[in-house]
Chains A and B, each alone.
Chain A
Amino acid sequence: MKVLVAVKRVIDYNVKVRVKPDHSNVDLANVKMSINPFCEIAVEEAVRLKESGAASEVVVVSIGPKSVQDQIRAAMAMGADRGIWIETAETDLGALSIARLLAQVVRDEQPGLVLLGKQSIDSDNNQTGQMLAAMLDYPQATFASKLTVTGDEAEVTREIDGGLQTLALKLPAVVTTDLRLNEPRYIKLPDIMKAKRKPLAQTSPETLGVTPSAGLKLLSVEPPAERQGGVMVESVAALVDALKNQARVL
């Protein structure tokens, strides 16, 4: 079984986000970029499926300018076998266009399983996997915290509000990863060297026959309202008094 993993290049999760002074967007100039943490979990899961014998090949795909090759190479250093780079000038295509591009890659590659992160930590949309599944008419399981593949079926435990839900999906299917699915491995230097020699194919929306749509129009980006700093209380008694008589919440 072939596993296709989609990865996104995003601001590193340790970087403090700053809004541009003109409020047009967040400032990404000279900021460390990384593979989206949820996508990294998806790559790790795909590689583990290969290591356990459930998968035969792991293909990683990313969309964007040349810089996204860094994230494809990082995924290959983790163990993906080959990469596909869909070159676009934009870094922020809408989820609908992203899903349409990925759907065409799925039609070409015919993987048994498509793994994606549940959301990217920049736009926080949580849409692409579900849209992709709908376009392909595939079963889906979002927020996966456990994945087992047996024959032509995947059993997925999902983190839902209030607990866990387990679904069985007939393959091919789309699964999106949650935080606790696995802990991605550290990449070692020899693996980075090895990844440089792995095949990376380049394609484009035109070649895939997809014309990206305009998507939502971003009018402005603002920093969130700051909370006013509060007061320090000296004792539990003072705290209870303040909550009762000042804040009046007790």
Chain B
Amino acid sequence: MSILVIAEHDNQTLKSATLHALAAATQIGGDVDLLVAGSDCQSVAAEAAAIPGVRKVLVADAPAYGHHLAENVSRLVADLAEGYGYLLTPSTTTGKDFMPRVAAHLVVEQISDVMAVVGPDTFRRPIYAGNAIATVQSSDPIKVMTVRTTSFEAVETSGGSATIESLSQVFEASGTRFVSEALVQSDRPELTSARVVISGGRGLGSADNFAHLYELADKLGAAVGASRAAVDAGYVPNDMQVGQTGKVVAPELYIAVGISGAIQHLAGMKESKVIVAINNDPDAPIFQVADYGLVADLFTALPELIESL
């Protein structure tokens, strides 16, 4: 059974989330093709072709796909689906947006947030904010699924030589118009792919105090995240939120500062390899999942930590 993975990219570079979805495809087994749908996205196609294990890179390069609108991308993917046993894409906001439309066009169920491949038709996925893990079996002829990126190690990015095939199909819905996009510019690594993540909670007390975290992050080459409480308090923008309703991260080192450890936050970071918690409340639930806990006032501990690195 061959597999089509739909790539996540920004028309210039391939997003690392794609590499994790490819890892899931590798575990299922079979020929793996990669679809790059975008506008002026040939550099992404070239990058994709170098990934070992990819048989063919399909490129749909048209203005209609430039903003990855679900209406257009889902039509394209459904049109390409014949002959594939599996359609995979990373479980990002883009993947979550268009993939269920693909499933509906094909009249099959979607399996969301796949975290393990148990067999050719059986998969594990988190439910109830990760408080339970379901094993589900699909009897659909085409398995449509989104892949939880933190559950699969990224595949290699060089050494392959896939063929590149251009597609001419253009699907363009008239009812949806792109208006604008405001992406946060940052020199720091992306939250979901960073080796080290430092997150702040309501304990930081203000937006200004996040400066301590940025300083620490720059020393460690880390990404900066936040708890929902810190986002809701207006300290930082929502795209920094780590948790069930925000981003799910699994870095080598996760440092939680001034975060109590609500279930919804733990669901987004408890797969991290090493967890450090710094909090002045010794009873904070975050300490129950932390490998190293430090009960301290963060305003004295943070400068000391920055100083000692």
Give the B-binding residues of A (Cβ under 8 A): 11, 16-17, 19, 26, 94-96, 99, 121-135, 138-143, 145, 155, 158-170, 173, 178-180, 213-224, 227, 229-233, 235-237, 239-240, 242-243, 247, 249-250
Q: Please name the residue on chain B nearest to A219 by beta carbon.
A: B135
Are the CB atoms of B135 and A220 closer together than 8 Å? yes
Interface centre among B122, B131, B253, by most chain A C-beta atoms within 10 angstroms, is B131
Are the CB atoms of A221 and B137 closer together than 8 Å? no
Q: Please name the residue on chain B nearest to A143 by beta carbon.
A: B93
Q: Please name the residue on chain A nearest to B113 by beta carbon.
A: A124
Interface of A, secondary structure class, is mixed
Q: Please name the residue on chain B nearest to A247 by beta carbon.
A: B274
Q: A121-B129, A216-B136, A219-B122 are in contact. Are A162 and B183 (CB under 8 A)?
A: yes
Interface of B, secondary structure class, is mixed
Please indicate the chain A residues that have their CB under 8 angstroms from the CB of B113 in the complex.
124
Bound together, the chains give a CA A180 to CA B295 distance in angstroms of 32
Are the CB atoms of B92 and A161 closer together than 8 Å? yes
Please indicate the chain B residues that have their CB under 8 angstroms from the CB of A169 in the complex.
175-177
- Distance (Å) between the CB of B258 and the closest chain A CB? 15
Please indicate the chain B residues that have their CB under 8 angstroms from the CB of A214 in the complex.
139
Bound together, the chains give a CA A134 to CA B292 distance in angstroms of 48
Are the CB atoms of A161 and B239 closer together than 8 Å? yes
- Distance (Å) between the CB of A118 and the closest chain B CB? 8
Bound together, the chains give a CA A125 to CA B67 distance in angstroms of 23
Please indicate the chain B residues that have their CB under 8 angstroms from the CB of A129 in the complex.
100
Are the CB atoms of A96 and B276 closer together than 8 Å? no
> Could you pull out 30 A-B pairs where Cβ atoms are within 8 angstroms?
A16-B131, A16-B263, A17-B129, A19-B132, A96-B103, A124-B128, A126-B100, A126-B112, A130-B98, A134-B100, A139-B71, A142-B97, A160-B94, A161-B94, A179-B238, A180-B232, A180-B238, A217-B139, A218-B135, A219-B122, A221-B135, A222-B135, A224-B131, A224-B133, A227-B275, A230-B290, A230-B292, A231-B293, A239-B305, A243-B276
Are the CB atoms of B112 and A216 closer together than 8 Å? no
Q: In which size bucket is the chain B interface? A: 35 or more
Q: A161-B93, A161-B239 are in contact. Are A122 and B103 (CB under 8 A)?
A: no
- Distance (Å) between the CB of B104 and the closest chain A CB? 4
- Distance (Å) between the CB of A227 and the closest chain B CB? 5
Are the CB atoms of A140 and B137 closer together than 8 Å? no
Bound together, the chains give a CA A21 to CA B128 distance in angstroms of 17
Q: Known A-B contacts: A17-B128, A131-B103, A215-B109. Give 15 more (CB < 8 A).
A: A17-B132, A95-B109, A124-B244, A142-B70, A142-B96, A159-B238, A163-B184, A168-B177, A220-B135, A224-B126, A224-B132, A232-B292, A240-B309, A243-B253, A249-B253
Q: Please name the residue on chain A nearest to B186 by beta carbon.
A: A162
Decide yes or no whether B270 CB sits under 8 A from chain A: yes
Q: Please name the residue on chain B nearest to A123 by beta carbon.
A: B127
Closest 7 pairs (CB-CB, A-B): A130-B100, A134-B104, A139-B175, A230-B291, A127-B100, A131-B104, A163-B183
Q: A139-B71, A159-B93 are in contact. Are A218 and B136 (CB under 8 A)?
A: yes
Are the CB atoms of B136 and A237 closer together than 8 Å? no
Give the A-binding residues of B (Cβ under 8 A): 67, 69-71, 74, 92-94, 96-105, 107-113, 122, 126-139, 173-184, 190, 192, 196, 220, 228, 232, 237-239, 244-245, 247, 252-253, 263, 270, 273-276, 287-296, 301, 304-305, 308-309
Bound together, the chains give a CA A216 to CA B131 distance in angstroms of 20
Please indicate the chain B residues that have their CB under 8 angstroms from the CB of A94 in the complex.
109
Bound together, the chains give a CA A214 to CA B180 distance in angstroms of 40
Bound together, the chains give a CA A234 to CA B127 distance in angstroms of 37
CB-contact partner of B128 in A121, A130, A132, A215, under 8 A: A121
CB-contact partner of A217 in B132, B137, B293, under 8 A: B137
Q: Please name the residue on chain B nearest to A230 by beta carbon.
A: B291
Are the CB atoms of A236 and B304 closer together than 8 Å? yes
- Distance (Å) between the CB of B138 and the closest chain A CB? 6
- Distance (Å) between the CB of A1 and the closest chain B CB? 16
Q: Please name the residue on chain A nearest to B306 by beta carbon.
A: A236
Are the CB atoms of A124 and B139 closer together than 8 Å? no
Please indicate the chain A residues that have their CB under 8 angstroms from the CB of B290 in the complex.
230
- Distance (Å) between the CB of A184 and the closest chain B CB? 14
Are the CB atoms of A140 and B71 closer together than 8 Å? yes
Bound together, the chains give a CA A247 to CA B103 distance in angstroms of 43
CB-contact partner of B174 in A170, A180, A217, under 8 A: A170
Are the CB atoms of B175 and A163 closer together than 8 Å? no
Q: A232-B293, A237-B308 are in contact. Are A127 and B131 (CB under 8 A)?
A: no
Are the CB atoms of B175 and A127 closer together than 8 Å? no
- Distance (Å) between the CB of A52 and the closest chain B CB? 21
- Distance (Å) between the CB of B28 and the closest chain A CB? 16
Bound together, the chains give a CA A178 to CA B228 distance in angstroms of 13
Bound together, the chains give a CA A163 to CA B240 distance in angstroms of 9
Are the CB atoms of B127 and A122 closer together than 8 Å? yes
Are the CB atoms of A243 and B101 closer together than 8 Å? no
CB-contact partner of B288 in A11, A159, A229, A243, under 8 A: A229
Are the CB atoms of A130 and B101 closer together than 8 Å? yes
Are the CB atoms of B181 and A166 closer together than 8 Å? yes
